[in-house]
Amino acid sequence: MTVALEHRRPWPWALVPVLAAAATSLWIGLNFDVRYAFGGLRVAPEGVYGAFIHRPLAYRVFVALLDLPTRLFTDRTGTFAEAVVRAEVLVLVAAVTALVWFGLHRREVRGAGFIALALGIALALAPNWTFLEPDWTGALWATAAFGAALLPSRFAAPLAGLFAVLCVATKLSTLPYAVIAIVAACLVVKGWSAVGWSAGFGGLWVLVTWLFLPTEWQWTQDMAGLFPYSLPRAGLDLDWRTFGESAANLLVVSPIVLALPAAAVRRPVPAAGRPVPAGPDGPVPAGAVWRPVLVLAGVVLIAAGALVQGEGYLYQWAALPVFAAGVVAATRSVAALVPAAVGGLASAFVLYHPAAWRSEHFAAITVVFLVIAALGVFANRLRVPRNWVPWAAIAMTLAFGAANLPHAAYSVNMAHAAETNTSLFGKTADLRTRFLQARTEIGPETPVLYLTFGDVDYLLGNPTDCRYASPVWLQRSTFLPYVRELDSYRDNVGCVENTRASWLVLDHGWLDPAKLEPAVRTRLTATFDCTAPLTVTDTIELCPRR
């Protein structure tokens, strides 16, 4: 059996993660943040250029393009429609994977096929809370920039520059992703023209948006105020505790990260176990000396992108599992597969347990996963199989698949720790039924004013005359008073005060109207009658216009 696995037709084993990604996409659907983006663009009056969905323009355009096929469906929020969106994204991931393979193959990089496949696995099997978030999308475009820069064409560097700028334009905090991708590609091709093209296209993007889309820059500047512990707002007084907990959560939810230490310090061992022959650089090649430094630099850059956002959400680490998968594949480290596989099994065990158990044992869980990472370092003298693709494909499927299991929690002890893939699937099915009833009762084209999180816009689907389809500025003003000083807040207030909506959609669990600015609260009370509302859930109600 071992002989067959190592020597005969290794690539069919690569279908294991491909089938896992396809099976996951058939049922798991889109997460609430992604629905926020789709819903906001569907119901807001000004489309991608004028609708505020808490996301930059490049991401809004990307979502709008992905949403085009769902126009063919009667139910645009159903499981089938969401599976179609995920299928579109998986096709795009496959295209980027092929681009990376072609570039590496033409540059005669050893193991080009599996390096490309590993990056594709990391993107396709990302946890559902990460999949299709702006940070994940930035990692996708950064991977495309890496592949494009390797092409044997005079258009390689300009194309890589375009993808790099697309990465940053998707979300500014993904700038480190673009830097890592372009620098890594330049090291492979031994040329730095892609850096110049990236800088040039980046400057052009800044100039064009500054001149023609001033509101975009207003939103970009003001959004820093929505996060009290973000770098622009807090300076160096960052929330280091939340950052540390977030990093520890990532080890469990994306255990491929545990393989990084082993891959970084791997010393070449021949397949037959013979000593490494000496060369001009001595018994240990220069690359093996610099590898830990380069890997550490990549980790620090990605961590910085998560830290400056000041929220601690796990999707803000989206690039680190992709980076880890690429490093493991590039180094062909068998030792790294040990923590990847063991970590995947341990992750499935931990994420299956109730939130209370995970919170109570969080410190012990963190120590155990750090020990698993250390196992890989001590296993570094393992011999490399003649063809390690089957083993690597299985290990990576275990590492990435754990978070996609039906009963896997979204986090260990942080935001949405009590939610699992199955529980959110069930809640969404129930909410679809409830909002369909509400939509039927008030009329599908009746204009409404949303004072809700954006996934309510997605599920109800009624149009609004307010560009702030989910009024995050009003919501944050209820507990961050300084938000009321921002231009975007005043714009949001004006939108609410001048609405012609026939119904108010209010989620008391997301926004407490009693804490709104008195003038705004008075205007809402005078416009809508919430004494006998149409109830959708325990916290969401629809109030008719007076």
How large a percentage of the chain has pLDDT more than 90? 78
In 3D space, the residue among 178, 145, 170 whose CA is nearest the CA of residue 160 turns out to be 145
Residue-level pLDDT at 191:
86
Gap between the Cα atoms of 359 and 365, Å rounded: 9
Per-residue tokens: 108: 């005669």
Q: Is the pLDDT of residue 268 over 80?
A: no
pLDDT tens per residue across span 370-405: 999 999 988 877 666 667 788 888 999 999 999 999
Residue 524 makes CB contacts below 8 A (sequence gap 6+) with: 496, 504, 513, 516
Token digits of residue 90: 């998986």
Q: How far apart are CA 335 and CA 379, in angstroms?
A: 5
266 confidence band (pLDDT: 50, 70, 90): confident
In the prediction, which pLDDT does 318 show?
A: 97
Q: Mind listing the pLDDT tens digit for each residue in 305-336?
A: 999 998 999 999 999 999 999 999 999 888 89
> pLDDT (tens digit, 9 = 90+) per residue, 352-364?
999 999 999 999 9
Contacts of 194 (CB under 8 A, 6+ apart): 145, 149, 156, 157, 160, 161, 164, 182, 185, 186
| 151 closest CA partner among 99, 94, 95, 98 | 99
Among residues 330, 392, 294, 337, which one has the least CA distance to residue 104?
330
Token pair, residue 145, equals 């920039």
Closest by Cα among 117, 230, 156, 217 to 480: 230
Q: Which residues lie below 8 Å from residue 482, measured CB to CB, with a gap of 6+? A: 225
Average pLDDT value for residue range 485-508: 94
Extract the tokens encoding 463: 């149009």
**pLDDT at position 25, please?**
84
d(CA 382, CA 334): 7
pLDDT tens column, 151-203 = 988 899 999 999 999 999 999 999 999 999 999 999 999 889 999 999 999 99
| SS3 at position 486 | coil
Backbone phi and psi for residue 463, each to the nearest 5 degrees, phi listed first:
-70, 155
- Give the number of other Cβ atoms within 10 Å of residue 437's Cβ: 12
DSSP string, 158-200: HHHHHHHHHHHHH-GGGHHHHHHHHHHHHHHHT--HHHHHHHH
- 3-state SS of 213-244 is CHHHHHHHHHHHHHCCCCHHHHCCCCCHHHHH
Confidence check: pLDDT of 291 > 90 = no
d(CA 284, CA 280): 10
Q: Which residues of 165-197 are buried (b: 16+ CB within 10 A; e: fewer)?
A: bbbbbbbbbbbbbbbbbbbbbbeebeeebbbeb
Residue 7 has φ and ψ, to the nearest 5°, of -110, -20
Instruction: Please say whether the beta carbons of 315 and 130 come within 8 A.
Output: yes
Write down the pLDDT at residue 17: 82
* Segment among 23-32, 143-152, 197-206, 425-434 with least mean pLDDT: 23-32
pTM of the full predicted structure? Answer: 0.93
Distance CA 530, CA 195 (A): 57
**Beta carbons within 10 angstroms of residue 74's beta carbon:** 6
pLDDT value of residue 4: 42
* Res. 263: pLDDT tops 80: yes
Q: What pLDDT, on a 0 to 100 scale, did the predictor assign at position 238?
A: 82
pLDDT confidence band for 270 (50 / 70 / 90): very low
Q: Alpha carbon of 291 to those of 263, 273, 300, 330, 541: distances in Å? A: 9, 22, 14, 11, 56
What pLDDT was estimated at residue 5? 43
The Cα 199–Cα 341 span in angstroms is 39
Give the position of tokens 């620098």. Answer: 183
Whole-angstrom Cα distance, residue 483 to residue 223?
9
Question: In whole angstroms, what is the distance from residue 326 CA to residue 302 CA?
Answer: 14
- Could you say which DSSP state residue 538 is in? S
Residue 525 confidence (pLDDT) above 80: yes
Contacts of 115 (CB under 8 A, 6+ apart): 100, 101, 104, 109, 326, 329, 330
Task: Flag whether pLDDT at 285 surpasses 70.
Answer: no
**Whole-angstrom distance, CA of residue 110 vs CA of residue 224:** 43
Q: pLDDT-derived band of residue 10, with 50, 70 and 90 as boundaries?
A: low
Check if the beta carbon of residue 51 is closer than 8 Å to that of residue 467: yes
Q: What is the pLDDT of residue 7?
A: 43
Determine whether 480 is exposed, middle or buried from the number of CB atoms within 10 Å of its CB (0-12, 13-18, 19+): middle
The lowest-confidence range among 237-246, 386-395, 486-495 is 386-395
CB of 160 closer than 8 Å to CB of 182: yes
Amino acid at 254: S
Higher pLDDT, 360 or 286: 360
Rounded Cα distance, 306 and 309, in Å = 6
pLDDT number for residue 269: 47
What is 499-535 written as a DSSP string? ---SEEEEETTT--GGGS-HHHHHHHHHHB--SS-EE
37 contacts 458 by C-beta, under 8 angstroms: no
* Position 463 confidence tier, pLDDT thresholds 50, 70, 90: very high
